[in-house]
Chain A
């Protein structure tokens, strides 16, 4: 793909977003929707910038990010470990597989009331919910990635004298990294969504709480601000993960 094609792709991609904002502006400025229901985009973006420099809003972002990162990291550690061992050991696999089958399609948000009752209204219940939701894509992609490692690679490593115990970490884990990272990307998006929802349901801080407070007082402008912020956060984190990916996979052929 040459540079010119990329630029034209980017330009083409901006069109629908620009159209959407233009349409939004048009509806607002021709008076089809009163500003209390649909504030014009200019008003929302000024408010966004105003909020971004305010201390309380930054604290809300920090609270959300803390929960997101805590939940996501625990999910990555747990997911990769369980997935790897399930792929390597048939006995562990026989136990993990049916449990995952049952728990993966379970709507985890429904567990939130139980988590609230058990862990209280603080960070604990929200982080646990993020872990519960982000865990499965990471676990499954690790498992699939690790179980599809070419047998030849393992044989060559054994022939070269790698001890059995080290094969898991020296051969299987690196070979599964592309798949693991795909799972992490899905898990990250899910974490963004879940942390926001959990904060909407019960919270005293965080972006979700900002939205709920605005909704209670019918401040339409303030309702858009946290939504745009979480979208931007998601994009930024996705970009960060893309960077990590291209760093980790620098030796891999075509990714």
Chain B
């Protein structure tokens, strides 16, 4: 039996969604121009996009690129971040490079990368990889830095080698922080995916969105916005569930990571 209060907190995000859609509906009715359809009209356009085979293939191609870029970035970034956190030399070696590259929009590298690799999948996956790796490296770095020295000393005293200490002490201890980085990275992957596709207009969800904008199909524009937004919220909520299962032992930190971009 769920108490009324728990039910309310659980359904609060849903209510917020409905509220936002309601505000949209009212605002559209007041403004009443062609370029701003009501929420209902936009929602009504969703089935025609999701029912169309071509757009479905496009959206799945986008998701596949995103998954590959994200996966590779996580595999590369976590060890690098952990090493930076445990060794001062490694940290001071990579830190300035990361600081220089941080304010550069990764999707803006798209035109240059397209010159080298063409407009295909590899260029887009590379851009997603670059976008995801920075926050994951940063959070793994922070997590590994905060590991208690005493645990490492006891590990060393019990005869664990440096590599074993890394895998069996540093990695689990830094896991909550690493997963926060991954969660930020996940949303960043989605953003980079959309932007890379609207710069290299060839296929994908971003392409559908901006083509509809160019052709003045306003209800499709807004329907795509809802679809992409729902993907973001859904992926984030799914990841959050997984995270809270994996690191149940860690005290609940902030429930929304700070660094969404």
Residues of A within 8 A of B (CB): 8-10, 12-17, 20, 33, 37-38, 94, 97-111, 113-114, 116-118, 133, 136-137, 140-141, 144, 182-183, 186, 189-190, 192-194, 196-197, 200-201, 208, 211-212, 214-215, 218, 220, 223-224, 227, 230-231, 233-235, 237-238
Q: Which B residues between 187 and 213 are near A, CB-CB below 8 angstroms? A: 187, 190-191, 194-195, 198-199, 209-210, 212-213
Q: Per-residue CB proximity of B213-243 to A under 8 Å, as 1/0?
A: 1000010011011001101110111000000
With contact pairs A102-B17, A231-B100, A231-B103 given, residues A107 and B232 touching in the complex (Cβ less than 8 Å) = yes
Which residues of the other chain, A, contact B153 by a CB distance below 8 angstroms? none
Interface centre among A9, A10, A100 (most CB of B within 10 A): A9
A110-B209, A208-B108 given; 10 more Cβ-contact pairs under 8 Å = A8-B92, A16-B93, A37-B116, A105-B187, A107-B228, A110-B225, A189-B102, A194-B105, A196-B105, A224-B112
Q: Does B158 contact A (CB under 8 A)?
A: no
Q: Does B115 contact A (CB under 8 A)?
A: yes
Which size class do B's interface residues fall under?
35 or more
Q: Which B residues between 87 and 129 are near A, CB-CB below 8 angstroms? A: 88-89, 92-97, 99-109, 111-112, 114-116
With contact pairs A182-B258, A200-B199 given, residues A235 and B99 touching in the complex (Cβ less than 8 Å) = yes
**Interchain CB contact under 8 A, A99 and B100:** no
* Other-chain contact of B112, A14, A16, A220, A238 (Cβ < 8 Å): A220
Q: Which B residues between 1 and 38 are near A, CB-CB below 8 angstroms? A: 12-13, 15-17, 19-20, 35-36
For the complex, what is the distance from the CA of A94 to the CA of B92, rounded to whole Å? 43
Q: List 16 A-B contacts (CB under 8 A).
A: A13-B95, A16-B96, A100-B256, A101-B255, A101-B256, A102-B20, A110-B228, A117-B218, A136-B256, A196-B108, A201-B199, A227-B109, A230-B108, A231-B104, A233-B103, A235-B103
Which residues of the other chain, A, contact B104 by a CB distance below 8 angstroms? 193, 227, 230-231, 234
A80 to chain B minimum Cβ distance, whole angstroms, is 14
A117 to chain B minimum Cβ distance, whole angstroms, is 4
A16 to chain B minimum Cβ distance, whole angstroms, is 5
**Interchain CB contact under 8 A, B233 and A105:** yes
**Interchain CB contact under 8 A, A230 and B105:** yes
Which residues of the other chain, A, contact B229 by a CB distance below 8 angstroms? 106-107, 110-111
Interface centre among B111, B194, B231 (most CB of A within 10 A): B111
B255 to chain A minimum Cβ distance, whole angstroms, is 8
Q: Does B163 contact A (CB under 8 A)?
A: no
Which residues of the other chain, A, contact B15 by a CB distance below 8 angstroms? 98
For the complex, what is the distance from the CA of A219 to the CA of B129, rounded to whole Å? 25
- Name the CB-closest residue of A to B134: A189
**Interchain CB contact under 8 A, B218 and A186:** no
Interface centre among B16, B210, B212 (most CB of A within 10 A): B16
With contact pairs A116-B213, A200-B108 given, residues A192 and B97 touching in the complex (Cβ less than 8 Å) = no
Which residues of the other chain, A, contact B237 by a CB distance below 8 angstroms? 105
For the complex, what is the distance from the CA of A137 to the CA of B260, rounded to whole Å? 7
Q: Does B261 contact A (CB under 8 A)?
A: yes
- Name the CB-closest residue of A to B27: A118
**Interchain CB contact under 8 A, A114 and B13:** no
With contact pairs A16-B96, A197-B105, A224-B112 given, residues A110 and B194 touching in the complex (Cβ less than 8 Å) = yes
**Interchain CB contact under 8 A, B194 and A107:** yes
For the complex, what is the distance from the CA of A109 to the CA of B224, rounded to whole Å? 12
With contact pairs A9-B92, A13-B92, A231-B101 given, residues A106 and B232 touching in the complex (Cβ less than 8 Å) = yes
For the complex, what is the distance from the CA of A218 to the CA of B190, rounded to whole Å? 28
Q: Does B250 contact A (CB under 8 A)?
A: no
Q: Does B254 contact A (CB under 8 A)?
A: yes
B248 to chain A minimum Cβ distance, whole angstroms, is 21
For the complex, what is the distance from the CA of A99 to the CA of B14, rounded to whole Å? 9
A105 to chain B minimum Cβ distance, whole angstroms, is 4
For the complex, what is the distance from the CA of A113 to the CA of B194, rounded to whole Å? 12
Q: Does B259 contact A (CB under 8 A)?
A: yes
- Name the CB-closest residue of A to B221: A113
For the complex, what is the distance from the CA of A85 to the CA of B107, rounded to whole Å? 35
* Other-chain contact of A118, B36, B92, B254, B256 (Cβ < 8 Å): B36
